[in-house]
Amino acid sequence: MSGLPLQGVRIVDVTVIWGGPYATQLLADWGAEVIRVESRRHFAPLTRGTVARPPKASQTRDRVIPQGTYCDRDPGERPWNRFVYFNTHARNKLSMTVDLTKPEGKDIFRRLVRESDVFIENNALEVVEKWGWTYEALRQIKPDIIVANMPSLGLTGPYKYYRMRGFELECLAGHSLLRGYTDRDPTTLTESYHCDAVSGVCAALAIVMALLHRRTTGQGLHVEVAQAESLIPQLGQAVMDYTMNQRVQTTLGNRDPAAAPCGCYRCQGEEKWINITITTDDEWQALCRAMGHPAWSQEERFSDGLSRWRNQEELDRRIEEWTGQHDHDALMFKLQEVGVPAGAVLDSGDCFADPQLKERGFFERLTQVDCGTHLYPGLSWKMSKTPNRLRLPPCCLGEHNEYVYKEVLGVSDEEYARLEAGGHIGMDYVPEIP
């Protein structure tokens, strides 16, 4: 689609899993030409799948494969193109393959960098140094290149070589302790990857700022997005409570230090819930009216915000006796109409059926050759002067080799055939990779 803000910007992408790929998704959505540089000889777990060729059985003695992570719960002939996790962030991108372990592969990579504007990665620092993906190395290839590194904890400091994924970063940044349940220890937590989403947004924003800097100065720029440092500011209330009051916030569960009642309450049906958050006496009185002014709501222990906060256990029990008699979606509208902040807890099926998202056309239909046709989450924002939509389905491994090699790099048909015979070019992982 012509006229998008980032049209004409070419990005070399060697990102993995989610944080980095989410950054390039946001950039690709708005016109950047994102070229994923991949290898047929190296499989990155959790990026294009759990393993390259998972068994069709749901599990074996030594390996559990979550079949639900593949389209139709079937790995198919090319599982790396059917991995749901990869497909969530791979739309609007291109994929080329090259073997960077060979001298000619390294030369191809350098040629691609020279033809590009941005390089981005979110690998471990040892990997970055091994392959020469530092700003110092890449600016020797292209002086005005913008390099975005997304280390877990930073490129400097005593922890710079620590390897972490999203869940570990959540724990280190303090998020995991805050979001647990008050009656359980941290070992019961499910995994959360908010850090990946946050760092992806931060990296995309920083790259756009770097592009503006280069447009005004003609100079390249090094962007460093330490993923943990992207997350900690979002925990500002807990952080500043310590710096200002020397108080360490602990597990909150579904509660809030400044609200009562504040919780997630069971409704009619299996696993149907509603969130209610009361911060003022007026909201409390509105909730009492909606509940029919039960006698218990008039007790002294619930008469003001501080009293309600001190008696949340009993308050939650009483409220859930009432919410359990109602449909979560209908109750949300009923409470909102009388001024009570409330929201139904939606599962993925509820989201696809949601009338608000339907009316706005949020989900868009894409067809990918190995997955078929499905609805995908749409753009994260709209721009009044720049109409936009999803343009390309999730890229298959090596799908755009001919374009990248022949049009971007100017490789001849003869050289292309030689590189193909040499194992650089293809759409399948080599048989040696299980």
Residue 242 lies in a domain: no
Q: Which domain holds residue 411?
A: 10-225+361-421
Mark whether 179 and 274 lie in a shared domain. no
Residue 5 lies in a domain: no
Q: Pick the closest to residue 328 from 345, 311, 341, 315 (CA basis).
A: 345
Mark whether 347 and 365 lie in a shared domain. no
For residues 154, 380, 177 and 348, what is the CA-based torsion angle, rounded to 10 degrees? Answer: -140
Residue 273 lies in a domain: yes
For 381, the 3-state DSSP assignment is coil
Q: What is the DSSP string of 281-311?
A: HHHHHHHHHHTT--GGGGSGGGSSHHHHHHT
Residue 291 lies in a domain: yes
Residue 426 lies in a domain: no
CATH code of the domain containing 318: 3.30.1540.10
CATH code of the domain containing 174: 3.40.50.10540
Total structural domains within the chain: 2
Mark whether 175 and 34 lie in a shared domain. yes
Rg (CA), the chain: 25
Mark whether 376 and 329 lie in a shared domain. no
In whole angstroms, give the CA distance from residue 209 to residue 211: 5
**Which among 334, 352, 370 is the end of a domain?**
352
Mark whether 33 and 112 lie in a shared domain. yes
Cis peptide upstream of residue 261 (ω within 30 degrees of 0): yes
Q: Pick the closest to residue 165 from 178, 154, 145, 151 (CA basis).
A: 151
Mark whether 221 and 297 lie in a shared domain. no
Q: What is the pTM of this model?
A: 0.93
Mark whether 267 and 125 lie in a shared domain. no
Mark whether 143 and 15 lie in a shared domain. yes
**Which among 306, 332, 352 is the end of a domain?**
352
pLDDT tens per residue across all 434 residues of the chain: 668 999 999 999 999 999 999 999 999 999 999 999 999 999 988 999 989 999 875 444 455 555 568 999 899 999 999 999 999 999 999 999 999 999 999 999 999 999 999 999 999 999 999 999 999 999 999 999 999 999 999 999 999 999 988 888 988 888 888 888 888 887 888 888 899 999 999 999 999 999 999 999 999 999 999 999 999 999 998 999 999 999 998 888 888 888 999 999 999 999 999 999 999 999 999 999 999 999 999 999 999 999 999 999 999 999 999 999 999 999 999 999 999 999 999 999 999 999 999 999 999 999 999 999 999 999 999 999 999 999 999 999 999 999 999 999 999 999 999 999 999 999 999 999 98
